[in-house]
Amino acid sequence: MTKRVAIFASGGGSNMRALVADMTAAADHPAQPAVVLSNNADAGCIAWAKGQGIATVVVDHRPYGGDRAAFEAAMMQGLAPHAPDIICLAGFMRKLTAGFTDAWAGRMINIHPSLLPKYKGLHTHARALEAGDAHHGCTVHEVTAALDDGPILGQAQIDVAPGDTAATLAARVLVLEHRLYPAVLRRFAAGDRTPINLQG
Ligand code: GAR
C-alpha cells in the first residue's frame, strides 16, 4: 500500500518540493504526500503546499516556550487526521525530543547538509571550508534522539573547489539534496534501507 508522507519544513521548502515532485510524477511511487507541517505560518513551504492542494498544518513553537514536549504533542495532534506512515524532515529547524523520535523510530528521516558524521548542527558549509575539506555534501539518515545522527540511508558528495565560499557550497550541495532525498525516500518507502551514494 502507498505510504503516506508528512513533510516537516521551516523555510522555503525546496527539498519538500523535490520530494513532492518525485512522489507525484510516477504512478508506481511507493509513497504519496499526505501533509506538510511547519512551525512557521509564513514559511514558503506552507504557501507552496496550499497552492498544490496538499494539506498543511502549522504549529507555532513560540507559545510553547521551552516546553518541547507540549509543542510536539500539538504537532502529533495536528498530524493525526492525516495518518502519516513516514515523516520526512526537510529543513525543519526545531530539535525534537527523544519522546518524539522514539515514537517515530524507523519511520522518520532527515536531510542534513554535510557528510555525516562530520558537522552536525548548523553552519555546515563554513565548517567544511574552515577545516580545508576536499569533499563536502549531504546525508539522508534515520532520525534518532541524538541530533543529526542515526543510520545513514544515503550520501551525495561534491569536490570543494578553490574559491568556494559557504554560499557557493550551499548552492551546489542543495542541488544534490534535491536528487538524493527523493531517491532515498523512494527506497525507504519500499522498505529498502540500502544506502545510496551519489557524486555531484
Ligand atoms: C537544506 O539545506 C537542508 O539540508 C537543511 O536546511 C536546508 C533547507 O532548505 N537542513 C538542516 O540544516 C537540518 N539540520 P529547503 O527549505 O530549501 O529545503
156-198 pLDDT per residue, tens: 999 999 999 999 999 999 999 999 999 999 999 999 999 999 9
174 lines ligand 1 (CB under 6 A): yes
Burial 103-119 (b: 16+ CB within 10 A, else e): ebeeebbbbbbbbbebb
Of the residues 29, 61, 82, 112, only one is catalytic, namely: 112
Let me know if 112 is a catalytic residue: yes
Relative to the CA of 18, which ligand 1 atom is closest?
18
What tens digit of pLDDT does each residue of 17-58 get? 999 999 999 899 999 999 999 999 999 999 999 999 999 999
40 lines ligand 1 (CB under 6 A): no
What tens digit of pLDDT does each residue of 111-124 get? 999 999 999 999 99
- Cα–Cα nearest to 188, from 107, 116, 114: 107
